[in-house]
């Protein structure tokens, strides 16, 4: 009879934790591969309420698939959930620049964290001298990353819907579904308590209820994922956010108490990405956009989308020195960008802007841009910007 020693769940877990720590993964939890029924229910409710906006890939089918790890990896027994800390201390923000959400200051986390999780599995596999069936996801699959993290004890849900870990919410989440039988963690018992600070702090009122974000109003959605015109009533509320938004995390007291939160070097801020000069962005051609943001999450906004955002930021900053750049942009090849440039000029006001708008109105052929030009030359638009 063969004498095979099967490592216990606890011994396997100890190996996992040791390998994770060697790879700099300090926040690690484990949960079973049981279906995520509650998470799927909440996600379905968000979808049915229209709160997932027009994200074409966020479908009921995706939610179903993501809530059943056993269907993704036959033989799945455990899910390893990790949170990787990214830098959160903002260098002095130069005036005239557009803000970038912290998660996008450094290299694209999808690749960095997936590589790390691959190394983790390779290392554990080597130690155990056995192959491990696994499937890795970092934001790029159907799994409900935050619900996995909650059940694996990595953190608790904040009312801003972020997972609040021992290091706060400035973290990326990733997970590995595996056939290893690992000792699980208990879900965190912590909660926001009576705090509600993130809710009134949201400029657009996107936190429509505790734990519920209406993506249609979320600046992160609007500046990163949304492909068309940004609703005119939301534009002034975007302020100087050029890509993403961090406000509901900046105000969170859990993020203040994070003495032991050491950001992962792999996500160190790149000054070319961490704040953006909107006039410079308007001047980028498609090739220079690709080159400048190679390896950055900012590419997700698309060349057209980022220039649309630059127009909004310039309109909100209200600096008339940006008028010539916006006037040039009235001739842009993209109607989306031209329309937002017209709006921004309306916000800046002044004779130079008005003459340019009137002249553009004579040659413009796109009906939506014509409408934007007309709105921009009516005085009511300008009144919406309190700083202009
Ligand atoms: C779609 C999406 C978005 C959308 C929608 C966001 C949202 N809140 O749903 C938009 C584009 C707006 C977005 C924005 C951002 N995102 Co995003 N996004 C995703 C994605 C792809 C899916 C999220 C999802 O399924 N939402 C659907 C709803 C149902 O999920 P939920 O709001 O989390 O709901 C849960 C809880 O509310 C809970 N719940 C429901 N009711 C109740 C009641 C109680 C009492 C409790 C306790 C809990 C609870 O159950 C729900 C299901 O799990 C995930 C990656 C992934 N694959 O999971 C990243 C992800 C959530 N995003 C992430 C990040 C970093 C951001 C931004 C911070 C980026 C930025 N700075 O601009 C913002 C944050 C905005 C915000 N406050 O959420 C990280 C979050 C990391 C973390 N520590 O939590 C993720 C996990 C990506 C990753 N792998 O790192 N995102
Ligand atoms: S990311 Fe910004 S816009 Fe979105 S919910 Fe948070 S504060 Fe509101
Ligand atoms: S600000 Fe308060 S309510 Fe909002 S997530 Fe943080 S602790 Fe929770």
Mean pLDDT of successive 10-residue stretches along the chain, which has 388 residues = 66 93 95 97 98 96 97 97 93 82 96 96 95 97 97 98 96 97 95 98 98 98 98 98 98 84 89 95 98 97 98 97 98 98 97 97 98 89 46
Q: Measured from the CB, is residue 315 less than 6 Å from ligand 3?
A: no
Distance, CA of 18 to CA of 22 (rounded, Å): 6
The radius of gyration of the chain from alpha carbons, rounded to an integer in Å, stands at 24
Q: Which pLDDT score is estimated for 38?
A: 95
> Is residue 85 located within the same domain as residue 214?
no
> Is residue 112 located within the same domain as residue 208?
no
Is 230 within a domain? yes
Question: What is the biggest distance separating any 2 CA atoms in the chain, rounded to whole angstroms?
Answer: 93
In the chain the first and final C-alpha atoms are separated, in Å, by 84
> Is residue 92 located within the same domain as residue 226?
no
Is 194 within a domain? no
Going by alpha carbons, the residue nearest to atom 1 of ligand 3 is: 252
Is 257 within a domain? no
CB 207 within 8 A of CB 193: no
Take residue 46 and report the two structure tokens written for it: 């968000």
Active site residues: 139
> Is residue 355 located within the same domain as residue 298?
yes
* CA of 147 relative to ligand 1 center, distance in Å: 9
> Is residue 212 located within the same domain as residue 343?
yes
* CA of 140 relative to ligand 3 center, distance in Å: 26
Ligand 1 surroundings by CB, under 6 angstroms:
39, 42-43, 46, 58, 101, 103, 138-139, 143-147, 157, 160-163, 169, 171-173, 211, 213, 215, 218, 220-221, 225, 244-246, 248
Take residue 206 and report the two structure tokens written for it: 């996107």
Is 187 within a domain? no
Is 18 within a domain? yes
Distance, CA of 343 to CA of 374 (rounded, Å): 9
Is 246 within a domain? no
Q: Of 160, 178, 196, which one is at a domain's C-terminal end?
A: 178
Q: Say whether 179 sits in a helix, a strand or coil.
A: coil
Question: Going by C-beta distance under 8 Å and a sequence separation of 6 or more, which residues neighbour residue 35?
Answer: 67, 68, 69, 70
Instruction: Report the domain count for the chain.
Output: 2
Q: Which pLDDT score is estimated for 1?
A: 47
Strand partners, 82: 28, 174
> Is residue 100 located within the same domain as residue 224?
no
Q: How many CB atoms lie within 10 A of CB 91?
A: 11
> Is residue 172 located within the same domain as residue 209?
no
> Is residue 208 located within the same domain as residue 71?
no
> Is residue 32 located within the same domain as residue 150?
yes
From residue 311, give the alpha-carbon distance in Å to each of 55, 84, 208, 277, 279.
23, 33, 27, 11, 8
Going by alpha carbons, the residue nearest to atom 5 of ligand 3 is: 158
> Is residue 153 located within the same domain as residue 298?
no
Beta strands in 86-159 (DSSP E): 98-100, 134-137, 156-157
Going by alpha carbons, the residue nearest to atom 20 of ligand 1 is: 139
Going by alpha carbons, the residue nearest to atom 2 of ligand 3 is: 195
Q: Which pLDDT score is estimated for 4?
A: 54
Is 244 within a domain? no
Ligand 3 atom at minimal distance to the Cα of residue 210: 3
> Is residue 234 located within the same domain as residue 142?
no
Going by alpha carbons, the residue nearest to atom 2 of ligand 2 is: 245
Take residue 141 and report the two structure tokens written for it: 């699959």
Is 198 within a domain? no
Ligand 3 atom at minimal distance to the Cα of residue 201: 1
CA angle 169, 153, 82 (to 5 degrees): 60
Q: How many residues in the chain? A: 388
Expressed as residue numbers, the domain containing 74 is 9-178
Q: Say whether 31 sits in a helix, a strand or coil.
A: strand
> Is residue 91 located within the same domain as residue 16?
yes
* CA of 104 relative to ligand 3 center, distance in Å: 22
């Amino acid at each position: 009879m063969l004498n095979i020693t099967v490592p216990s769940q606890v011994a396997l877990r100890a190996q996992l934790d040791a390998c994770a720590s060697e790879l700099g993964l300090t926040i690690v939890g484990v949960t079973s591969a049981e279906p995520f029924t509650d998470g799927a229910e909440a996600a379905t409710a968000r979808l049915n309420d229209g709160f997932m906006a027009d994200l074409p890939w966020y479908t009921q089918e995706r939610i179903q698939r993501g809530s059943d790890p056993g269907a993704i990896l036959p033989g799945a027994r455990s899910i390893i959930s990790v949170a990787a800390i990214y830098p959160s201390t903002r260098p002095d923000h130069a005036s005239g620049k557009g803000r970038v959400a912290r998660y996008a200051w450094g290299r694209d986390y999808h690749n960095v964290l997936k590589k790390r999780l691959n190394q983790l599995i390779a290392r554990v596999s080597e130690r155990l001298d056995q192959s491990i069936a696994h499937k890795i996801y970092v934001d790029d699959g159907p799994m409900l990353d935050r619900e996995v993290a909650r059940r694996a004890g990595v953190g608790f849900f904040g009312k801003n819907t972020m997972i609040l870990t021992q290091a706060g919410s400035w973290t990326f989440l990733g997970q590995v579904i595996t056939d290893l039988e690992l000792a699980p963690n208990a879900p965190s018992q912590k909660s926001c308590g009576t705090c509600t600070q993130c809710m009134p702090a949201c400029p657009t009122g996107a936190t429509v209820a505790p734990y519920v974000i209406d993506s249609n109003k979320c600046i992160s959605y609007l500046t990163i994922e949304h492909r068309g015109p940004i609703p005119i009533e939301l534009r002034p509320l975007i302020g100087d956010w050029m890509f993403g938004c961090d406000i509901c995390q900046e105000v969170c007291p859990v993020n203040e108490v994070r003495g032991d939160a050491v950001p992962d070097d792999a996500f160190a801020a790149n000054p070319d990405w961490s704040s953006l000069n909107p006039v410079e962005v308007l001047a980028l051609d498609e090739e220079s956009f690709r080159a400048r943001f190679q390896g950055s999450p900012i590419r997700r906004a698309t060349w057209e989308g980022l220039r649309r955002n630059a127009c909004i930021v310039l309109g909100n900053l209200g600096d008339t020195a940006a008028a010539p750049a916006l006037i040039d942009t009235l001739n842009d090849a993209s109607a989306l960008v031209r329309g937002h440039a017209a709006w921004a000029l309306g916000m800046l006001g002044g004779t130079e802007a008005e003459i340019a708008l009137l002249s553009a109105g004579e040659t413009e052929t796109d009906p939506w841009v014509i409408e934007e030009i007309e709105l921009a030359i009516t005085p009511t638009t300008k009144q919406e910007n309190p700083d202009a």
